[in-house]
Chain A
């Protein structure tokens, strides 16, 4: 199984809503990533978890709250978002061994629209 799954595929939410994005992989990868991608731009790294611990937070606003409940799951909790947060949110995972990170496998993304 070389798949990273993400749910939901599409999400429309108001600025006062609370919602969560979910990501799952069963490849035994111990690093998981959240990216944000605006139209016609490359992905921007938001968070990295390594062995279920947050290792990188790219100065992301606190209205985005990541969570890694176990080695297969990664969540992104959303609260009080702004319309400019509308984007494609991509999850990825990779193997990590002795601090060396391997090829990243990406999920299909969640298309988020904030109204």
Chain B
């Protein structure tokens, strides 16, 4: 069964701390997505990766294809970063339109 595992499930940090959220998957993928969801609904796509590293502002996403592992880092965290972060992958063997989602990481950043 193709699965996506995220850790930790819940994370509480103080403002300014460096945060890492991890994602592991089971077989070959064509792409990995990091998504952000604030309370009350909409999902924002943060990154789509197939190799290497991407940076946008205080957010950095890395992927290691050999180890089937990705990390999302937040530098100088802020209370507005409080949200659920979801890892989703597109497996090569399934339909290219289908994403397999992790269970999400609930991040709370306290002032």
Tell me the residues in window 38-77 of chain A with beta carbons closer than 8 Å to chain B beta carbons.
Answer: 40-43, 45, 48, 50, 55-56
Closest to A45 in B: B98
Please tell me if the beta carbons of B43 and A100 are within 8 angstroms of each other in the complex.
Answer: no
CA distance in complex: A79, B70 (Å): 41
User: How far, in Å, is A46 (CB) from chain B's closest CB?
Assistant: 12
Number of interface residues of B (CB under 8 A): 21
B45 within 8 A of A: yes
Q: Per a CB cutoff under 8 Å, which of A42, A55, A107, A111 touches B97?
A: A55
B42 within 8 A of A: yes
CA distance in complex: A103, B90 (Å): 10
Chain A residues closer than 8 Å to B31, beta-carbon distance: 103
Chain A residues closer than 8 Å to B45, beta-carbon distance: 103-106
Please tell me if the beta carbons of B42 and A106 are within 8 angstroms of each other in the complex.
Answer: yes
CA distance in complex: A40, B84 (Å): 9
A90 within 8 A of B: yes
Tell me the residues in window 71-110 of chain B with beta carbons closer than 8 Å to chain A beta carbons.
Answer: 86, 88, 90, 95-99, 101-104
Binding site for A on B (CB under 8 A): 31, 33, 35, 41-45, 48, 86, 88, 90, 95-99, 101-104
